[in-house]
C-alpha cells in the first residue's frame, strides 16, 4: 500500500531542488554596462543568454564562481565554466577577438580544471588588443538561467555582479538601469 501511495504522488522519485539564487562575482576590473549596450547583436539581444558586460581597465580575468572549466577556446579569447550549482557561465574577452588566434592571451586553466571564485583564469594584453583595433568589452553571460544585474559603473574584482534567478533565460526582464544597489531603501519607513 505504501509503495502505491509513493508512486501515485511521485514520492518514489528522487527530489531535485532548484539551487537558491546564486551571485556571480565581478571577474575583471573596469566598468559594468548592460549587455544590451554591447556592439554585437549576439550578446546585445541575449542570444547566448543574459548577463552584463565589462569594459576592462586591466588585463586579468578571474573566475566569478566556484566550478569546473567546461571549455577554454583554442583562441583563448573565451571560456565557459559550469558552477558547482549547475550555472553555465560564458566569459568572452573582447569582440571579434577570435581573429587574434590567441595572440595577446595567456590561459592559466584547461578544460576540466576545478576553479574557485577569484582564481586567475586568463591574462591578456589590453593595450595590444586595443591597438590591434579590437573592442575589449567583455560579456559575462549566464547561458542557462535568467539573471539580475546588480551593479553598473565602476567595479572591482570580487564584488557582486549578477544574481542567477533560478529561471530559464528570457523568463525575467530586469531593468538594467536600476540595479538593486541603486534602488531606494523602502524598509526605513
CA gap 84, 157 in Å, rounded: 20
Told to judge if 77 belongs to the known catalytic residues of this protein, a careful annotator would answer: no
Q: Which entry of 90, 92, 152, 163 is annotated as an active-site residue? A: 92
CA gap 1, 184 in Å, rounded: 56
C-alpha cell, 57: 581597465
Buried/exposed 152-185: b ≥16 CB within 10 Å, e otherwise: beebebeebbbbbbbeebeeeebebeebeeeeee
Q: What is the DSSP letter of 127?
A: H
Q: Which of 75, 108, 111 is nearest to 93 (CA)?
A: 75
Sign of CA dihedral 9, 11, 12, 18: positive
CA gap 176, 23 in Å, rounded: 16
CA gap 179, 77 in Å, rounded: 28
CA gap 27, 10 in Å, rounded: 41
Q: What residues act catalytically?
A: 92
Amino acid at each position: 500500500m505504501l509503495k502505491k501511495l509513493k508512486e501515485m504522488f511521485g514520492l518514489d522519485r528522487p527530489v531535485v531542488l532548484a539551487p537558491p539564487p546564486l551571485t556571480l562575482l565581478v571577474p575583471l576590473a573596469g566598468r559594468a554596462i548592460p549587455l544590451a549596450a554591447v556592439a554585437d547583436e549576439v550578446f546585445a539581444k541575449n542570444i547566448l543568454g543574459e548577463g552584463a558586460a565589462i569594459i576592462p581597465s586591466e588585463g586579468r580575468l578571474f573566475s566569478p564562481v566556484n566550478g569546473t572549466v567546461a571549455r577554454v577556446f583554442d583562441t583563448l579569447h573565451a571560456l565557459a565554466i559550469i558552477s558547482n550549482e549547475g550555472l553555465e557561465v560564458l566569459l568572452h574577452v573582447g569582440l571579434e577577438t577570435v581573429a587574434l588566434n590567441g595572440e595577446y592571451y595567456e590561459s592559466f586553466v584547461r578544460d576540466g580544471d576545478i576553479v574557485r571564485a577569484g582564481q586567475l583564469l586568463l591574462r591578456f594584453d589590453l593595450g595590444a588588443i586595443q591597438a590591434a583595433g579590437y573592442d575589449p568589452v567583455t560579456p559575462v553571460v549566464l547561458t542557462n538561467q535568467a539573471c539580475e544585474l546588480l551593479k553598473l559603473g565602476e567595479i572591482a574584482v570580487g564584488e557582486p555582479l549578477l544574481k542567477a534567478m533560478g529561471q530559464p533565460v528570457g523568463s525575467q526582464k530586469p531593468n538594467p538601469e536600476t540595479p538593486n544597489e541603486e534602488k531606494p531603501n523602502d524598509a526605513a519607513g
